[in-house]
Amino acid sequence: MGIYSAGIYPAVLVVSAVVVVLGGVTMAWIRAHRVLEWAVTALWIATGVQAIAVVVLLLSGNDAGLVLTIGYLLATIVILPLMGIGRLGAPDAAAADPDPNRPVLQPDQIARVDGGAAVIVGIAAAVLAWRIAIILGAA
């Protein structure tokens, strides 16, 4: 529990905050998109480490409710792919889809979509990490 509450949980919060800030910056200044991609990768890694730590804590006899904890953990993982949602609007991806309503995005729009999605997902990831920490008794 010590490693989780003192290291992993704060790290997830910090990485989420960085993703939110860089997402906002990318929406205003699309050249930050490349840096945002690094932060997104960091959030994937932090979430993976968090998932492993939470499973280890549950297996080691933590009193946390299993359904709620696993539910929040799955939600944390499910939302991550939304950070790359801008790629779905790339011309080659849209051309492969017969759906006429699918938007085709320019490179600057893809960056802005990724930035906005990063803001949304970063906030959600931080809230979910906080909820998991509360359930585990680590916050």
Does 112 sit near another protein (CB under 8 A)?
Answer: yes
CA–CA distance, 111 with 22 (Å, rounded to integer):
11
Cβ of residue 124: shortest distance to another protein, in angstroms?
Answer: 5
Does 58 sit near another protein (CB under 8 A)?
Answer: no
Does 68 sit near another protein (CB under 8 A)?
Answer: yes
Nearer to another protein, 82 or 139 (CB): 82
Using an 8 Å Cβ cutoff, are 118 and 17 in contact?
Answer: no
Q: What is the DSSP letter of 32?
A: G
CA–CA distance, 122 with 91 (Å, rounded to integer):
26
Residue type, 92: D
Positions in the binding site for another protein (CB under 8 A): 67-68, 71-72, 75, 78-79, 82, 85-86, 88-89, 99-101, 103-105, 109, 112-113, 116-117, 120-121, 123-124
